[in-house]
Amino acid sequence: MGGALSDLERDHPPTHIDFNKPENWRMNHVNALHQHFKQANLEFAMNRQEFGEFLQAALPQSGDSVKMLWTKFDPSKEGLVNVLEVMSGLAIMGRGSISEKLQLLWSMHDLNSVSTLSYDELVVLLFIAASSTVLLGGKGTIPEERFIEAITDEAFVSADIDISGRINYAGFLHWFLDYMQITEETPSVGLREFLKRMQCMKQKEVTATAGQRALQRQAQELGVPPAAT
């Protein structure tokens, strides 16, 4: 799940960061995006101009990374990106500890700030986490949703919660660390292993990202016609 900071890097952060490399982003950078997104009360769906303005307002030092991120997150040229997918991918691929990444990922998906997620909400979190990592990392393929649902089943069983209930962060954290086989002796997991565990190593053509599919489903539920590309 991306790289962890060494003690030296924590004590002496670089004076210049190339934001065109996802692995150079840090959790404070991703958190800046998330905080601005919440405070400005923005929509998840953004076109190219809106996305560029969002990045510039939230993190001016990110420079021209908008081009790299747009290319990564709109591979099928839908004309829209889901900013939650972008932030989730950066949280996973960026520099930080597993606990920092998971806490940030959870907070971004806890949309109502109730500190718990429903079964469907956890499916979305895991699906977008998998999709965004594939897109940013350039490895693997976006998994089928049924695979993510099976993984979510495991999380709820591990937390001893019925799928009609809600899982809290402690239950999610305990399950995730166990599922990824992360221990004190092995405090991290490599990108390939993460993708393998998330069922992302099967060959499949990418027609839309997980975030874009979520936007499409939302539009269908609201009876909104699809956006023009």
Q: Does 4 reside within a domain?
A: no
Structure-token pair, residue 4: 């962890």
* pLDDT tens digit sequence for 121-166: 999 999 999 999 999 999 999 999 999 999 999 999 999 999 999 9
Q: Which domain holds residue 82?
A: 13-222
Please count the structural domains in the chain. Answer: 1
- Please tell me the pTM assigned to this model: 0.82
Q: Give yes or no for residue 204 having a pLDDT over 90.
A: no
Q: Does 114 reside within a domain?
A: yes
Q: Does 202 reside within a domain?
A: yes
Q: Does 228 reside within a domain?
A: no
